[in-house]
């Protein structure tokens, strides 16, 4: 079977690229917060140095507006791709994480308030996004291999495809 790399729209590559950078950072910095402050199921054998609530909050502040733009793209121009269950699951997990994150109070964990319903929701979202993104990556690789996976990270764009041109569509 001869294969050509699929072409991904520039605006999708831009916003998706931001998710690929920021979602793992949010997940890992969140794991650091969990280990340092909560640790009910699992914790590192030592306290990580640094204020991880602050670091995670900063990643979250950068992530949430971009995640909302990404969701707006996925639900409009990218709608057809959401028919794939793993894509839809990744998006739903992401939205739940971002919305529950916005509702989190910075001091809950510092004050030992581990039973706030919003915090529980944020933890569920953490597990959902992480699981859904792993599923999504396996699904992409099994459907189109590295050729498909890499197509999302290519930098060249067609002349008639610029991120800002989507505004006029």
Contact 122, 98 (CB under 8 A): no
The yes or no reply on residue 122 touching ligand HEM (CB under 6 A) is yes
Q: Which residue is nearest to ligand HEM (CB)?
A: 78
CA distance 127 to 41: 13
The yes or no reply on residue 90 touching ligand HEM (CB under 6 A) is yes
Structure tokens at 125: 């979202």
* Binding region for ligand HEM (CB under 6 A) out of 40-48, 130-138, 159-167: 130-138
The one among 68, 82, 118, 121 contacting ligand HEM by CB under 6 A: 82
Phi, psi of 137 (to 5 degrees): -65, -45
Angle between helices 10-33 and 117-151 (to 10 degrees): 140
Q: How far is the CB of 94 from ligand HEM (least distance, A)?
A: 4
The yes or no reply on residue 91 touching ligand HEM (CB under 6 A) is yes
* Binding region for ligand HEM (CB under 6 A) out of 33-41, 43-51, 158-166: 33-41
CA distance 53 to 74: 29
The yes or no reply on residue 81 touching ligand HEM (CB under 6 A) is yes
The yes or no reply on residue 161 touching ligand HEM (CB under 6 A) is no
The one among 11, 26, 36, 95 contacting ligand HEM by CB under 6 A: 26
- Classify residue 142 as exposed, middle or buried by CB count within 10 Å of its CB (0-12, 13-18, 19+): exposed
Contact 57, 64 (CB under 8 A): no
Structure tokens at 80: 């057809």
Write the CA distances from 76 to 18, 28, 70, 81, 124, integer angstroms.
18, 30, 10, 10, 27
The yes or no reply on residue 101 touching ligand HEM (CB under 6 A) is yes
Q: Where on the chain is the footprint of ligand HEM (CB under 6 A)? A: 12, 16, 19-20, 23, 26-27, 30-31, 33-34, 38, 53, 56-57, 60-61, 63-64, 74, 78, 81-82, 84, 87, 90-91, 94, 97-98, 101-102, 104, 106, 109, 122, 126, 129, 133, 136-137, 140, 148-149, 151-152
């Amino acid at each position: 079977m001869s294969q050509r790399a699929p072409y991904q729209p520039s605006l999708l590559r831009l916003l998706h690229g931001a998710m690929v950078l920021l979602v793992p950072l949010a997940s890992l910095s969140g794991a650091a917060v969990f280990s340092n402050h909560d640790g009910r199921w699992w914790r590192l054998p030592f306290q990580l140095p640094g204020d991880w609530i602050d670091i995670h909050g900063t990643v979250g502040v950068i992530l949430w507006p971009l995640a909302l733009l990404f969701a707006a793209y996925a639900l409009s121009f990218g709608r057809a791709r959401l028919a794939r269950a793993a894509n839809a699951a990744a998006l739903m997990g992401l939205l739940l994480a971002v919305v529950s994150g916005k509702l989190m109070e910075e001091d809950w964990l510092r004050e030992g308030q581990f039973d706030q319903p919003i915090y529980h929701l944020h933890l569920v979202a953490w597990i959902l996004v992480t699981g859904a993104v792993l599923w999504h990556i396996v699904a992409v690789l099994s459907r189109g291999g590295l050729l498909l996976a890499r197509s999302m990270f290519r930098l060249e764009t067609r002349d008639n495809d610029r991120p800002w041109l989507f505004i006029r569509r």
